[in-house]
Structure 1
Amino acid sequence: MTELPLPPIQDDAWPQSAEEMKGGFATQLNVYRTMAHNPALLTAWAPLRQHVVIDNALGQELSEVAILRTGHRLGSPYEWGQHVHRARACGMSDSRINKVRGPLEGMRKDDATVARAVDELFYEKRLSPHTQQALVDLVGKEGMFDVIATVGFYSTLGYILNSCETPLDDDIAAALEEKPFDP
């Protein structure tokens, strides 16, 4: 295996300018360890991450639908694997997770609404008035903005992950090996 040009930074090489982030979320996942090659970006990322990942208006399952569909559209194996694991942890079945990457007609209505929004953002670069209203009806005005922010946030992460070929975290890889994704 060839060495990656920007592998996840380990604790012994952690940048001094991001020292306050060591031991927190930034050192828990390879994506943030990779992002630590730019400590200023990682530090600026933290407040947005808090909102998009933890304090969003979507709820855990619809947030995972948005992330999984985004990861699928980006062709990001890291995002897909990481969020299969997270989606399972919040109670989503492999069948439901698998449907998130398929046609809208095969999904639950709420999942299809979120997936349609992701697709529109990728392909049309905006939400149609119909999709905006459907999202507002589903998750409120704040939730509609959180879908847009989630797609943007995870697209940026996906670009970093794909460009740096960031490996899936060992614990997630082991969990997926123990219980392979079986739609």
Structure 2
Amino acid sequence: MTWPLQRLTAPDPATYSPRQQAIHDQIASGPRGGVRGPLAVWLHRPELAARAQDLGRYCRYDSSLDQRLSELAILVTGRVFGSEYEWQIHKGHALKAGLEPAIIEAIRCNRRPDFADVETEVVHDVAFAAHRTRDLDDALYARAREVLGEQRLVDLVGLLGYYTLISLTINIFRVPPLDGGAAELSDV
């Protein structure tokens, strides 16, 4: 597949303002190890990049959700938005965190996976409903609150909001997958 031209690329590092350079260096020295994709685009507005990267760091690395559940929610978000870059990056993270390949493949194919445990099922269902209906019905909300507890449910909703921002940035500015990776979502 040939990717459409990216509408807005990262600013040229040779033209960074002191603030852009400081934010770039802060992101690059953290757990992400570099500034790519939507984070690079956000450097056009360094204060947005700084605040978004702080929220992203919390959602990815410091929330009460374990990494497996976080990556599941991120994959659902990427799938719903059709964000190839997000899917490409987080599919590997999800596998490494222990998310079953069959669950990942079902999400990629827009099918509801079979779940071995209730937490995984609830995170999937909350993520899917949040993006499809922009709400949770009372039964799903009660189930999520019972299974995840209030703190993890709040963290899940925050993560879904952050990765919605990521997905919109990827899609609107047409951020291509790394190295022009193969499309996995458009053929389904």
Task: State the TM bucket, normalised to the shorter chain.
Answer: 0.7 to 0.9
The residue that corresponds to 1:124 in the other structure is: 133
Deviations 1:68-111 (A, max 9, x none): 00110001111111110111222334223113344336334432
Distance in 2 (CA, whole Å) between partners of 1:25 and 1:87 is 22
| Cα displacement (A) at 1:13 | 3.7
Q: Confirm whether residue 146 of structure 1 aligns to residue 148 of structure 2.
A: no
**CA separation in 2, counterparts of 1:163 and 1:42?**
16
Gaps of 5+ in 1: none
Task: Determine the structure 2 residue equivalent to 1:103.
Answer: 111
Q: Distance in 2 between matches of 1:15 and 1:164?
A: 22
- Aligned residues between the structures: 176
Q: 1:10 to 1:134 in 2, by over 3 A?
A: farther
The equivalent position to 1:16 in structure 2, one of 9, 18, 37, is 18
* Aligned-pair CA distance for 1:28: 3.0
Per-residue deviation, residues 9-50 of structure 1 (Å, max 9, x unmatched): 353343432222223435432220111122121122132122
Matches of 2:27 and 2:145 in 1, distance apart? Answer: 31
Match of 1:157 in 2: 166
Cα distance change on mapping 1:123 and 1:21 into 2, 3 Å? same
Superposition CA RMSD, Å: 2.7
Pick the aligned partner of 1:115 from 116, 121, 124.
124
For the Cα contact (< 8 Å) 1:15–1:39, is it kept in 2? no
Percent identity between the two aligned chains: 21
- Asked whether the equivalents of residues 100 and 115 of structure 1 are also in contact (C-alpha less than 8 Å), the reply is no
Q: CA deviation at 1:119?
A: 2.1
Secondary structure at 1:69 match in 2 = helix
* Counterpart residue type for residue 95 of structure 1: A
Measured after TM superposition, the shift of residue 156 of structure 1 is 1.0
Residues of 1 paired with 2:101 and 2:16: CA distance?
A: 36
Distance 1:75 1:15, change over 3 A: farther
* Distance change in 2, residues 1:140/1:10 (3 Å): farther
Equivalent position amino acid for 1:141 in 2: E
- Deviation (angstroms), 1:152: 1.1
Structure (1 or 2) with the greater helix fraction: 1
By relative contact order (CA 8 Å, sep 6+), the higher-ranking structure is: 2
Correspondence for 2:142? 133
Return the TM-score normalized by structure 1. 0.81
